[in-house]
Amino acid sequence: MYILSKELTERIAGISQEADTQSSHVLLYEEFIALPYFGQIILRFTINKEEYSLEDLDQYETMLNRIAGKDFLCDFMGDVYRKAGVDYSKLDQRMIQMNERFADEQMLQSSHSARIAADAALLLKAAGLPGDRRVWEIQVEDDEYTLLLMGKESKSIVSITDLIKLSVMEVNERICTGLIKGAFYCRRNHISLVRILLD
């Protein structure tokens, strides 16, 4: 699978090393997630610093996007958002609002799009699901996969442990679309996603 390929992991390792160096060890790479329906891979970072302002976050995220280039989106881990004051109890509603607010935002696919779409198709087949399901996210942790499908509500669909450890869940598509549109808006305007989550 492409998401486990040496080509991809080496490229991400290079970006994470460059981010660490250019930020003087403040920006630490944590994980990546693949978004097959939108043809993107998101690199997620944490911040090795006790205090930071919204302006700092704008600069850090702009730096990450510059280092990663057009083939990746970058954002921060949840602890960064919480520390910045994002209210997680209202986060889903906030992203649904972003779906409307950024309705006209252009969303571009990356050079990874065809290969992560093929990965999604393989995992859907393994789960016994139709290949035309819209896969929002593929998460990989150790030897376990989580597949999030775009739908109307948040619910568990299937979990298998035979030949592969795979959990499939459905999430609200307006939340997914709001988040990705917000990410593209922020990249285009050189600001952090945290800033629009606090608006």
Domain ranges of the chain: 1-199
Nearest residue to 178 via CA among 102, 88, 81, 113: 102
* pLDDT (mean) for 89-109: 92
pLDDT classification of 60: cutoffs 50, 70, 90 = very high
Q: What is the mean pLDDT of the chain?
A: 93
What proportion of the chain, given as a percentage, has pLDDT over 70?
100
Residue 162 pLDDT more than 80?
no
> pLDDT by residue (tens digit) across 75-93?
999 999 999 999 989 999 9
> pLDDT by residue (tens digit) across 180-195?
999 999 999 999 999 9
